Structure 1
Amino acid sequence: MDSQLEAEAFKRIYPEEYFQRFLSEGTRPDGRPLGRARSTTIGFGAVSTADGSALVKIGSTTLLAGIKLEVMTPTAEAPDAGKIAATFEMPPLCSPDARPERRLEETSVVVQQVMNAIESAGLVNTKELLISTGKAAWVAYLDIYCLDADGSLLDAALLAAVAAFADLTLPPVRVNPEGHVLPVLSGAQGGNLRENGDASSEVVTVERRKLTLGAMPWAATIGLYKGHLIVDPTAEEEALLESTVTTILDEAGRLISLFKPGGITAVTTALIQDCVELTRHRARELKQILEESSQEDEDEGDESQ
């Protein structure tokens, strides 16, 4: 007990020296090797009132993503497509450091990076959000809430967004000749939209349907400290690092984004290559976790019917 108290006191008084002792042995205070991410889980359908949702945990970092659909009139520039709008929230309860000014800066960066990754990878074809050309389309409001900010926030936010879109289903609707979107009751039938727009014209989607997702983007935050590369750092580790790099790859392993928020370590070609390779390994893990979680969700749905 005395040795444990001494170690805890040393950690509090000399956090960097404490951290370095572990790094010199190729490990970290939580026992992980430098290249290993924390345990990751995905729970689909976490919000019953959302059209798609997911709860993601990477270690203690916990984020909830939900998507609500609303009808919009397509723009003149894109009459055959809907759109996505995203927000990211960091309430004070998620971190002792979640001060208003920090939250504003961090939330804007995270939501921008998430949206850029979704668009660059081609995860969602907004034409699939179309209800009727020039008349109606879905706008998907993606809201991501941070419940516990314990490091690698962008990784978890992107994974939560991807999982929420994987869970998303579009409700059955019909469009009357006036362009009004109406819900379709279970078992209802209807005709197809006709070009002349007469009284019998309507669009009907009889069943709810999932989106056909494109390539999924995967992210890994890598801490840089005295020549060490530290995958998926905790908030405690992030406070000691020289800088971090978040690398985002598409499903083919191509680099679509590299985000480095300041720090003293220069970004070199060799560093980028090392980060990409570590992210490829992490991407394979995340893809498997998403597929296994999705299968478990489907199995539970079959059992409940």
Structure 2
Amino acid sequence: MAAGYKTAEPMEYHQGFLKENCRPDGRELVEFRTTTLNIGSISTADGSALVKIGNTTAICGIKVELANPTVEAPHKGYIVPNVDLPPLCSSRFRPGPPGEQAQAASQFVADVIESSGVIQTEDLCIEKGKLCWVVYCDIMCLDYDGNLLDASIIALLAALKNTQLPEVTINAETCAPTVNFEKRSGLRIHRHPVSTSFCMFDDSIHVDPTIDEEVLSTAQLTVVMDEGDRLCSVHKPGGKSLSAEKLQECISRAMARHRVIHKLIDKVAQSVKAAHA
């Protein structure tokens, strides 16, 4: 009966829970779903992480390659992020070229990398004007139940912290590079951005929305903070406007969420390091 009502009148179904200050999955309005993290789960990648936020699951694999820097930026390498939403993660997506949502998510991740300064592209330069690293960050959603952006950023940050670059030397006479895969060093992480997403139902704010809540909401918002409580970016893809008071409330919740996620990443990363010691 309830399932039929939810399908026939989804907004009325949700409003019934909202009147009781709760949500259909039993959470309070400001309660996040359980978040779990596994680091280094892809043995063939240079760095990887798998994240679950409730039923939403995303995995990030990092691959690095040698390349020539551009003439315009001879002292910089490249970071190339991509978010994939395959049909296996949800019936909402179809095979073929990346859809609008996947493209928007990829652009969001690229913007966060740039605005937060999580990695400086100068650090990826091996020899100015001659050789640099390209860091490919491939994020794939395995199960989609809303809040893809938060899962993507957590997976990205954890995978970058797990990435190891092989030692590269350049022959002075031939200028040919030699890669030593036995000696590796980690990427230098300058900032630790964490995103926190919200959806609005008029004046009510929900954190960590499910797919049903995203579809029904009057507006969505994603706030990205770093460990210094600095605001890296605010992403609001249309919808109803937000008051300054409500925006400040979201920023405050994003600060608290950052501390939780940063602690989780460090804890899991230390466990992985200890296991390989």
- TM tier relative to shorter chain: over 0.9
User: Which of the residues 181, 185, 192 maps onto 1:216?
Assistant: 192
User: CA-to-partner distance for each residue in 1:228-259, whole Å, 9 max, x for gaps?
Assistant: 10000111221221121111122222222221
In structure 1, the partner of 2:247 is 272
Amino acid at match of 1:9: G
Contact 2:61–2:138 at 8 Å: present in 1 too? yes
In structure 2, the partner of 1:77 is 72
User: Which of the residues 161, 176, 179 maps onto 1:180?
Assistant: 176
Q: Does 1:285 align with 2:265?
A: no
Contact 2:196–2:224 at 8 Å: present in 1 too? yes
In structure 1, the partner of 2:16 is 21
Percent identical among aligned pairs is: 39
- Looking at structure 1, the residues matched to 97 and 175 of structure 2 have their Cα atoms a distance apart, in angstroms, of 44
Q: TM-score, normalised by structure 1?
A: 0.85
- Looking at structure 1, the residues matched to 35 and 206 of structure 2 have their Cα atoms a distance apart, in angstroms, of 17
Contact 1:61–1:150 at 8 Å: present in 2 too? yes
- Looking at structure 1, the residues matched to 180 and 143 of structure 2 have their Cα atoms a distance apart, in angstroms, of 39
Unpaired segments ≥5 residues, structure 1:
1-5, 187-206
Query: In the TM superposition, what are the counterparts of 1:137-216 in structure 2 within 5 Å?
Result: 137-177=132-172, 178-184=174-180, 186=182, 207-216=183-192
Structure showing the higher strand proportion among its residues: 2
Match of 1:172, SS state, is strand
User: Which of the residues 47, 52, 74 maps onto 2:47?
Assistant: 52
How far the C-alpha of 1:69 sits from its partner, in A, is: 0.8
How far the C-alpha of 1:102 sits from its partner, in A, is: 10
How far the C-alpha of 1:8 sits from its partner, in A, is: 2.9
User: CA-to-partner distance for each residue in 1:75-127, whole Å, 9 max, x for gaps?
Assistant: 23332221111211111111111146995211111111111111111110222
In structure 2, the partner of 1:249 is 225
- Looking at structure 2, the residues matched to 185 and 37 of structure 1 have their Cα atoms a distance apart, in angstroms, of 40
In structure 1, the partner of 2:205 is 229
Q: 1:224 to 1:101 in 2, by over 3 A?
A: farther
Query: In the TM superposition, what are the counterparts of 1:291-302 in structure 2 within 5 Å?
Result: 291-302=266-277
- Looking at structure 2, the residues matched to 114 and 251 of structure 1 have their Cα atoms a distance apart, in angstroms, of 18
Contact 2:227–2:259 at 8 Å: present in 1 too? no
Question: What count of residue pairs does the alignment treat as equivalent?
Answer: 276
Compute the RMSD of aligned alpha carbons. 1.8
In structure 2, the partner of 1:8 is 3
- Looking at structure 1, the residues matched to 148 and 275 of structure 2 have their Cα atoms a distance apart, in angstroms, of 29
Amino acid at match of 1:180: A
Q: 1:278 to 1:21 in 2, by over 3 A?
A: same
Contact 1:222–1:245 at 8 Å: present in 2 too? yes
Unpaired segments ≥5 residues, structure 2:
none
- Looking at structure 2, the residues matched to 101 and 43 of structure 1 have their Cα atoms a distance apart, in angstroms, of 29
Larger radius of gyration, structure 1 or 2? Answer: 1
Contact 2:166–2:181 at 8 Å: present in 1 too? no
Q: Does 1:98 align with 2:93?
A: yes
Amino acid at match of 2:34: S
User: CA-to-partner distance for each residue in 1:173-216, whole Å, 9 max, x for gaps?
Assistant: 22113222222264xxxxxxxxxxxxxxxxxxxx3101121111
Amino acid at match of 2:191: A
Q: TM-score, normalised by structure 2?
A: 0.93
